[in-house]
Structure 1
């Protein structure tokens, strides 16, 4: 499959310039599922040159023409949804139902931004000069580069590519080397939009041959990243040399507050599947659980019962509810986080080990830790794995203060039946997104993103297209 597609440059599929490839490993079997091309620096430079040519043709299209192209892409994605979902599960190990949902969310991004392409409006401002007027217009920023992570290999591309294309930008996609096949399927779907050659490019490869030339080239005017805070900080420094626009969704360490008036069954029934979705490898998943003293024991009991009932295995099996971690390094990291917590005094009440049911793969049991304190590593850092760390609280002020005691600010959650408490919680929590009695934050019509060390800019909603547009002012006197 990887050799059928490969790199996508100047409107065609091709191999790497030097023929180089790298194995793509299954997190389920730990064996290669294929060999993907590895772009050379010259390949990436060719993609940038092609993107410049494509930009000239694409930005000249009307918003209505771009809308038609994005709708055609969405139609093709619908036609190929079974193939795409299978590829997502093959490369990430996540359950097939979660893969199908991710592809559906990706389709929705193209549908939403197809309509936004028709609504890139300007405005007229009254001038103080007699006979004059100010015209405010918005135009594509230029070539955009999309750097995406492996945990949502389709949705993360769609969130970047769809608004970039709607705005009239050309886009160079650089996915994770762990999930190149999903990116290839999506880019192949984009061909259904009959985009001019160079408008969409795909390069896969290491930092030295992909990231470095993209960041160094002044023709690339916008970069978007989904990744770690450390990588985001470096990207900001690198972008400064050529003054690129930057938007990024970085790490999270989401708090979940269960107040004393919460609907306990609702909280448990939605928190457990959310925590262990994609084996906990989700930036917006709840990591730090704060539960009121009056509900603590019942919450822990209910959480453990539900966690132990989850079916662990190969995501391609429809009965599976949680798949493996992405690689051996992530598995080792999770083992270390749990060991550190137990050594520091946390109580392990569920999981806490590699699953003994599998002879291969990066399978780790759904894990629950209690008696956790805020200074433990499992609370202080994003664990990015299937670990629910649960602590007590006794007052609203205490819970909100502890929830805010983090440099991260991507998402935060609370369960309460009090409208007054809900409003105060939303106003107090330092986070780009807050869910009250819900974890459903990702939607094409809503702005997705964080604050502080969790990033800048937004993806989704009317806000999502803004970073791909420049604002121009003209004073016209006639």
Structure 2
């Protein structure tokens, strides 16, 4: 069994332990036992990280595509070798089942290998000009990046935050969630062990508002990359705007799922139920608002409830567990508030709606139906193990409901009608749409949303492009 490691920050390649600093107690969400004590940065630590990032950018912007690709490929290889250990640590500090955490490691491996290839594809172009003149368009790294990653994907989010800037030739200061620090440190350590210069990437932790204000106030930082809630994203975007820093914002969602009567009901249910309760529903692209055509509504809700009741909930390190605890004590509290409000307004509770046991942050997988549109859960991202089921009559009604909220991160639709598929692809306001599939991500595919779900993209060529600026040079 993997032991939980001692915790530290990494600045200029040095491991900074707690010593006399403030600490954050990292807790196992399955047992509520303390895993470790994480040092929190003070102003001097952040200043040192900024100074190092400035030096790192001067080094790394001169690196060749081959050098950057070698580091990314080497880190991918090391993460593959260390996959089981990294995944167990992630399960210990975040709660998700071990197989899910291991898949997350593999996603990082694929992303780093893809970005290694992108290092060779940062193309510019030469414009057509009269003889004796020359105009070129080139891409250059934007500069030091401040990258903030949340706790729900403790391996994958740091991979995204580190991979793109490094591929582009930037330096990066990463602040991952204090709940899941060891996973993030393992990703950065793989890059350092693969030959990344120690000045190029730093890992700090701290009081979130203190760290964000300090880093974003510095002219050294030229770009902000943030994944998290819309509320916090708006706050950070305002801070970044004061210095005209570029931003990539991957924010909240409230994923609509349109299910039409022409589908194979059992096949759809067998697909969407596990996806809904993946990582206890703590997924920004989780399918959440199920809109079912009224002819199949009752059968859909009954089948959904039956499958949900059969899920095995427990410690993510135990064999056969399909859903672990929620990541922190705030999430069960939020579930209780949202679900109680919905039921009080007339929603039907089919299963779940309660905590499990008296140890750990467990909340039962929940199915609600006939939820009033005015209830808070229909308007606020629940970010938990609850499926919301309502019926619709017409396609237009379903599209109207899908687009009703100011979020637009991920949406899903299930229909065999090819003409309808094209209409939905055009009319649903979302950054990512899965038609007859829940697979909406990939190393080569941009990941991001519209409206209040943010702007810009991670993954794919777009992820590296977001860390580049354009320069035009005209020669006479």
Per the TM superposition, whether the score is higher than 0.5 is yes
1:39 to 38, 41, 47: 41
Q: Give the whole-Å Cα distance in 1 for the aligned partners of 2:328 and 2:5.
A: 23
Deviation sequence 1:319-355 (CA, Å, 0-9, x none): 1000111222211110011100110000101111111
- The answer on whether the counterparts of 1:44 and 1:209 sit within 8 Å (CA) in structure 2 is no
Tell me the secondary structure at the aligned position of residue 73 of structure 1.
helix
Residue 456 of structure 1, CA deviation: 0.5
1:92 to 91, 94, 97: 94
Per the alignment, residue 405 of structure 2 pairs with: 406
Per the alignment, residue 83 of structure 2 pairs with: 81
Residue 5 of structure 1, CA deviation: 5.0
Residue 145 of structure 1, CA deviation: 1.3
Tell me the secondary structure at the aligned position of residue 67 of structure 2.
helix
Deviation sequence 1:427-469 (CA, Å, 0-9, x none): 1100000001111112110000000000000011111111100
Tell me the secondary structure at the aligned position of residue 139 of structure 2.
strand
- The answer on whether the counterparts of 2:57 and 2:170 sit within 8 Å (CA) in structure 1 is yes
- The answer on whether the counterparts of 2:7 and 2:181 sit within 8 Å (CA) in structure 1 is no
Residue 196 of structure 1, CA deviation: 1.7
After the TM superposition, which residues 270-285 of structure 1 pair with which residues of structure 2 at under 5 Å, given as runs?
270-285=271-286
Q: Give the whole-Å Cα distance in 2 for the aligned partners of 1:348 and 1:5.
A: 42
Tell me the secondary structure at the aligned position of residue 119 of structure 2.
helix
Per the alignment, residue 475 of structure 1 pairs with: 474
Tell me the secondary structure at the aligned position of residue 413 of structure 1.
strand
Residue 214 of structure 1, CA deviation: 0.7
RMSD, aligned α-carbons:
1.3
Q: How does the TM-score come out when normalised to structure 1?
A: 0.97
Tell me the secondary structure at the aligned position of residue 470 of structure 2.
strand
Q: Give the whole-Å Cα distance in 2 for the aligned partners of 1:22 and 1:230.
A: 23
- The answer on whether the counterparts of 2:432 and 2:440 sit within 8 Å (CA) in structure 1 is yes
Tell me the secondary structure at the aligned position of residue 30 of structure 1.
coil
Tell me the secondary structure at the aligned position of residue 118 of structure 1.
coil
Deviation sequence 1:37-72 (CA, Å, 0-9, x none): 111121111011001111111111111211111101
Tell me the secondary structure at the aligned position of residue 390 of structure 1.
strand
Q: Give the whole-Å Cα distance in 1 for the aligned partners of 2:229 and 2:7.
A: 28
- The answer on whether the counterparts of 1:17 and 1:43 sit within 8 Å (CA) in structure 2 is no
Per the alignment, residue 326 of structure 2 pairs with: 325
Pairing 1:117–2:119 present: yes
- The answer on whether the counterparts of 2:342 and 2:372 sit within 8 Å (CA) in structure 1 is no
Per the alignment, residue 310 of structure 2 pairs with: 309
Per the alignment, residue 388 of structure 1 pairs with: 387
After the TM superposition, which residues 18-417 of structure 1 pair with which residues of structure 2 at under 5 Å, given as runs?
18-127=20-129, 130-355=131-356, 358-417=357-416
- The answer on whether the counterparts of 1:68 and 1:114 sit within 8 Å (CA) in structure 2 is yes
Q: Give the whole-Å Cα distance in 2 for the aligned partners of 1:340 and 1:14.
A: 45
Per the alignment, residue 433 of structure 1 pairs with: 432
Gaps of 5+ in 2: none
Q: Give the whole-Å Cα distance in 2 for the aligned partners of 1:229 and 1:87.
A: 28
- The answer on whether the counterparts of 1:289 and 1:389 sit within 8 Å (CA) in structure 2 is yes
Q: Give the whole-Å Cα distance in 1 for the aligned partners of 2:172 and 2:251.
A: 20
Residue 22 of structure 1, CA deviation: 2.0
Q: Give the whole-Å Cα distance in 2 for the aligned partners of 1:243 and 1:331.
A: 38
Length, aligned pairs only: 474
- The answer on whether the counterparts of 1:256 and 1:286 sit within 8 Å (CA) in structure 2 is yes
Tell me the secondary structure at the aligned position of residue 39 of structure 1.
coil
Deviation sequence 1:238-284 (CA, Å, 0-9, x none): 00111110011000001001011122122101110011011111110
Residue 16 of structure 1, CA deviation: 4.7
Q: From the superposition, tell whether residues 471 and 305 of structure 1 become closer, same or farther in structure 2 (CA, over 3 Å).
A: same
Tell me the secondary structure at the aligned position of residue 25 of structure 2.
strand
Q: Give the whole-Å Cα distance in 2 for the aligned partners of 1:315 and 1:8.
A: 28
- The answer on whether the counterparts of 1:17 and 1:39 sit within 8 Å (CA) in structure 2 is no
Residue 221 of structure 1, CA deviation: 0.4
Residue 224 of structure 1, CA deviation: 0.4
Q: Give the whole-Å Cα distance in 2 for the aligned partners of 1:167 and 1:132.
A: 29
Q: Give the whole-Å Cα distance in 1 for the aligned partners of 2:333 and 2:125.
A: 55
Tell me the secondary structure at the aligned position of residue 289 of structure 1.
strand
Deviation sequence 1:188-225 (CA, Å, 0-9, x none): 11112212221010001112542121110011001100
Tell me the secondary structure at the aligned position of residue 239 of structure 2.
helix
Tell me the secondary structure at the aligned position of residue 247 of structure 1.
strand
Q: From the superposition, tell whether residues 243 and 223 of structure 1 become closer, same or farther in structure 2 (CA, over 3 Å).
A: same
